[in-house]
Structure 1
Amino acid sequence: MRCREQQVRAGERISGLMSAAIPYGQGSNTYADDQVVEIGSYVTGDGEQPYRWYVTRLGTVTLAVSVKGAAGYPDAELNQYASHATVAMLDRVEFELGGKG
């Protein structure tokens, strides 16, 4: 976080990162204690694709989802994949912590 450029490995980097923190009750966050979202581009020698990283905290559990785009996948579809993965993991966490049953 707060680092606009990150080297992933030789020939791969994440560029132009912007972060936003969303505590419970702000924006549309009615599902977790905290969430941090980073949006940028995944850059390789072949070009660049959209990149998203979501870190979500519920109680003492922190989970993360990252999504790297590919040709033919619009941003809205990538966000949908990340949202579905986050919701599925949060549902499991709530169940295990006794919040759903």
Structure 2
Amino acid sequence: MAGEHIVTFTNENFESEVINSPIPVLVDFTATWCGPCKQLAPIVETIAKESQGTLKVGKLDIDAAPKLAQKYNVRAVPTCILFRGGEKAGSYTGVASKEKLLRELGV
């Protein structure tokens, strides 16, 4: 379950919450049935807590929003994508430490 610092992204709010966000956004493309996604969840929660105000962090369920997953070429979960100014700025697929994930995304 998403923690209090995690935004839930949907088809309906993706444009307003991610594309039009004034600050960078980390989107964790996930699925309820995905074991590695559950492993990554506490790492994403830690990033959200530690970056309040400088980075928006949220999850997008690929089963609830398959067109968004397809649009951003999410072929496996978990995949984290960093958006800056509405554009994809970095991505990482798989489970990683907080440090590696932030480094790979360019945060």
TM over 0.5: no
The structure with the largest helix share of the pair is: 2
- Larger-Rg structure: 1
* Greater relative CO, 1 or 2 (CA 8 Å, sep 6+): 2
The structure with the largest strand share of the pair is: 1
